[in-house]
Amino acid sequence: MHSWTKLELVAFVYFGWRMETHLIKEFLIDLANCFPEQATYFVEEWKLHQQLVMAAKRMKRTSIVSRPKELVHAQVQVEKGPHSGMFAHEFMSSAPGDKEVTRVRGIVILSDGRIIVADYKNRSLKLYSSELKFEMAKDIKEDPRGMAASANDFVVVTIADKKEIKIYKVEHNKIRTHKTIKVKEKPYSIGYNKDHFAVEHGEGEDGTIRIYDQNIREMCVIPGNTRHFGQFTGNTIRLALDYTKQVIFVVDIVKESVHCVDFKGGLIWTVKVGSPRGIVFHNNILFVASSTENKIIQMNAVDGLVYSMLDEDNRIKRPRYIAYNPDLRKLAVEIDGNHIKLYNIIKCDK
């Protein structure tokens, strides 16, 4: 049996999942021994890799109904973009009573600076103070799949297995259930803007993106059966919404792209991004996490023009979920599995 050194393990993770299948189990066992706190993270990433492979195979078999516009290959601008960021604080998203290593499925920053982390593995919503001290965990008994903050510190969580969207209200140091809405198809990723939500629903050819008002009344359905803007697997799409312009922004993990799509399903633009993950929108700017490139980039939401913002020099490492509070100018980034790092975002003078 091959004995993996820490250097080999790190190199392997850095260069991607390129191992023969029969060695995977042995590798994961050694990985757990070398990096016990990160073992769950890499196992989940391997599962996602398998889903991407299967999705790519399905995509090759799927007939294209209509051809989208040619991809726009984004070039990171040398000059500074509209925002810059500065590292402020970090904390572990673990909590007393956890039975599993945290698996983040969403982050929100409340109006007073407190942070909620949706923990898939421990089936909980964890509340941290503005000083990043753990306050409490709300046991939700089901796996959260996506989370978004709305006005007045309401938090909306998708529960795929139950086909539910739950609205929670944060008051003082408690998270209470405000409303539970049953939906037709399993809900996954969710984005919020101006009292409306965009929610990914269903899988495969039944996949859709649905627009809801703040009471989760359906306003619009965007069919995903052409597959121009994502493979609907429940794990390979992230969403942001610009309700004013009636467009959604779709992180397509399979095609390593970010798509701008109108409410009729029309593709407006597409930009290539290395291993994109989390995405947020505010005032015609998108912040996007690029996991393999260890970056948070900013994009012009009108045309997809890309500027750099945060990278490894700012302690960015394998970012996934992100959250932004524009009033506080704070960006939260899930880093390397279960760390949350906070950045102060500064608007640059032109």
- pLDDT digits (tens), the chain, 350 positions: 444 454 445 444 444 444 444 455 556 656 656 666 655 655 666 666 555 555 554 444 333 233 344 445 454 555 678 999 999 999 999 999 999 999 999 999 999 999 999 999 999 999 999 999 999 999 999 999 999 999 899 999 999 999 999 999 999 889 999 999 999 999 999 999 999 999 999 999 899 999 999 999 999 999 987 768 889 999 999 999 999 999 999 999 999 999 999 999 999 999 999 999 999 999 999 999 999 999 999 999 999 999 999 999 999 999 999 999 999 999 999 997 789 999 999 998 75
What pLDDT does 36 receive?
Answer: 61
What domains can you pick out in the chain, each with its CATH number?
Answer: 6-61 (no CATH), 83-347 (2.120.10.30)
Which pair of tokens denotes residue 92? Answer: 């572990």
Q: What is the pLDDT of residue 64?
A: 29
The candidate with the shortest Cα–Cα distance to 126, out of 152, 150, 147, 151, is 147
- Confidence (pLDDT) at 279: 98
Please give the torsion angle defined by the CA atoms of residues 69, 75, 76 and 81, in that order, rounded to the nearest 10 degrees: -60
What distances in angstroms separate CA 94 from CA 122, 128, 340, one per listed residue?
Answer: 10, 11, 10
- pTM of this prediction? 0.81
What pLDDT score was predicted for residue 336? 79
Burial 94-133 (b: 16+ CB within 10 A, else e): bbeebeebbbbbbbbbbeebbbbbbbbbbbbbbbbeeebe
pLDDT score, position 61: 36
**pLDDT, position 72:** 53
**Cα–Cα distance between 208 and 248 in angstroms, integer?**
12
Q: Which distant-in-sequence residues (6+ apart) come within 8 Å of 159 by Cβ? A: 140, 142, 143, 144, 145, 165, 166, 187
Query: Residue with structure tokens 């992180």?
Result: 251
Read off φ and ψ for residue 279, nearest 5 degrees. -150, 140
DSSP annotation of 31 reads H
